Amino acid sequence: MTITVRHLAEWVRGEVLGDGDLPISNARTLAEAQPGDITFVEHDKHLTAWHGSRASAAIVPMSVPVNGRPIIRVADPLMAFVRVVQQLRGRPQEQGPNISPAAHVHPTAKLAPGVSVGPFAVVGEHCEIGANTTLHAGAVIGRYCKLGEDVVLHTHAVLYDECVLGNRVIIHANAVIGADGFGYRVQNGRHVKVPQLGWVEIEDDVEVGACSTIDRGTFGATRIGAGTKIDNLVMVGHNCVIGKHNILCSQVGIAGSTTTGDYVVMAGQVGVADHLTIGEGVTIMAKSGVSGNVAPGARVLGMPARPHREQVRILMTQDKLPEMRRDVMRIKKQLGIVEEE
């Protein structure tokens, strides 16, 4: 498939500078683009990469000057490029809403118009599913679940009984929502299970990554606030209340009953202990371990997590530790201080 720069510019309502008749056959990023490709420049800071790129044309911000190759100026180059890639690769749409005859939908479940259910998906008793929601192959939802509109459950996503999902929630493949929390009591030398009778409530516009797990509350809800995005292999323990617009990167683990404010960011492999309060706007840097409450707006690092600036000073001093040790020994020698046993 070949198309001119001018034609592409029409798709994205951009302004062409340079040769609009140049034919384009593919769309690739700056680093991967080959002659014949169109690419995109997200910010001015990528201009050097654009000059070095083999691409024949680019979609650029309004500020980028012509450099000999044709450009298409737009307000939002990333989203314009997304549109171009989608059109150029042009897979036909999946067939419309459809309940697969190989799915297992309980007769008491209520499905709004436009719901799709893939093969081997299961919808339990008394579930309610909002309009245009899609369950891909093998997605399983237990009894008494409520799903909003435009929800997507990818392949093999699992909802235990009584989970509640808002609108536009996306659950990726093999994620598990609503499994039992990790609650036991010791009785006669055995760990006796505390029944986990609560549920999980996920608000609008949340995305949950592949193989992540969010446990049900013990008696009430584990809650994920609207707009929060959760990466793959993340663990959210029972009774947690996660704020709105949080970012939980891959392999984060949050133990039970912890609360986060809005706009919290946890980088990869962060661990947070149970029953803590993480304030609004907190950033927890990668691999940190948090064992106490964190004040709003703080930026913490390390295990145990300390304020970022403090931790960096400690880390820089650590590099000097062997040298400091030699110094102290020299000083002791010079002062005639004898090593204690």
Among 13, 43, 51, 104, binds a second copy (CB under 8 A): 104
Q: Which stretch binds a second copy (CB under 8 A): 14-22, 48-56, 275-283, 301-309?
A: 301-309
Among 213, 222, 258, 260, binds a second copy (CB under 8 A): 213
- Distance separating alpha carbons of residues 138 and 104, to the nearest angstrom: 10
User: Shortest Cβ distance from residue 16 to a second copy (Å)?
Assistant: 22
- Distance separating alpha carbons of residues 307 and 117, to the nearest angstrom: 48
State the DSSP code for 307.
E
SS3 326: helix
- Asked if 238 is an active-site residue, the reply is yes
Using the rule CB under 8 A, is 298 a contact of a second copy? Answer: no
Using the rule CB under 8 A, is 32 a contact of a second copy? Answer: yes
Among 2, 48, 67, 317, binds a second copy (CB under 8 A): 317
Q: Looking only at residues 11 through 30 of this chain, which bind a second copy when binding is defined by CB under 8 A?
A: 27-29
CB of 237 closer than 8 Å to CB of 215: yes
User: Shortest Cβ distance from residue 311 to a second copy (Å)?
Assistant: 9
Tell me which of 46, 136, 172, 238 is the catalytic residue.
238
Q: Looking only at residues 263 through 282 of this chain, which bind a second copy when binding is defined by CB under 8 A?
A: 268-269, 271, 273
Among 9, 38, 111, 122, binds a second copy (CB under 8 A): 122
Q: How far are the Cα atoms of 167, 230, 255, 284 from residue 272, in angstroms, in the given order?
A: 28, 15, 6, 9
- The region that residue 162 occupies, defined by phi over 0 for left and psi between -120 and 50 for alpha, beta otherwise, is left
Q: Which stretch binds a second copy (CB under 8 A): 7-15, 45-53, 55-63, 81-89?
A: 81-89
Helix ranges (H only) for the chain are 5-12, 47-52, 77-89, 308-319, 321-334
CB of 50 closer than 8 Å to CB of 30: yes
What six digits make up the tokens of 111? 């499905």
Using the rule CB under 8 A, is 338 a contact of a second copy? Answer: no
Q: Looking only at residues 187 through 206 of this chain, which bind a second copy when binding is defined by CB under 8 A?
A: 189-191, 193-195, 197, 205
CB of 63 closer than 8 Å to CB of 42: no
Among 137, 293, 296, 298, binds a second copy (CB under 8 A): 137
Tell me the β-bridge partners of 290: 272
Instruction: Give the residue with the Cβ less far from a second copy, 21 or 327.
Output: 327
Catalytic site residues?
Answer: 238
